[in-house]
Amino acid sequence: GGPIAAVLIVTCGLTGYYGNPLNKYIRHYEGLSYDTELLHDRHQRAKRALSHEERVLHLEFHAHG
């Protein structure tokens, strides 16, 4: 019993819940789907822009949690 047993139980529980971790900092990840052509077009347009405001490419995404 004691603290070491509790740590082992929690660690095994997290590994089972999250599956195979990517590394010690990332326990779970999912792929990202997006329109690659649209992003490429907007990136090309931003690279050609003359003003600083138009050279900024805003990306917006939402993650769980």
Into how many domains does the chain fold? Answer: 1
In a domain, 60, yes or no: no
In a domain, 62, yes or no: no
In a domain, 64, yes or no: no
Is the pTM higher than 0.95? The answer reads: no
In a domain, 28, yes or no: yes
In a domain, 43, yes or no: yes
On the question of pLDDT at 14 being above 50, the answer is no
Q: What pLDDT, on the 0 to 100 scale, is given for residue 11?
A: 45
Name which of 7, 1, 27, 29 is nearest 15 in CA terms: 27
Q: What pLDDT, on the 0 to 100 scale, is given for residue 7?
A: 44
Q: What pLDDT, on the 0 to 100 scale, is given for residue 18?
A: 52
On whether the CB atoms of residues 2 and 12 are closer than 8 A, the answer is: no
Determine the Cα angle at 14 with ends 62 and 23, to 5°.
70
On the question of pLDDT at 13 being above 50, the answer is no
Alpha helices, DSSP H, located in 19-63: 36-48, 52-55
Domain ranges, residue 22: 3-55
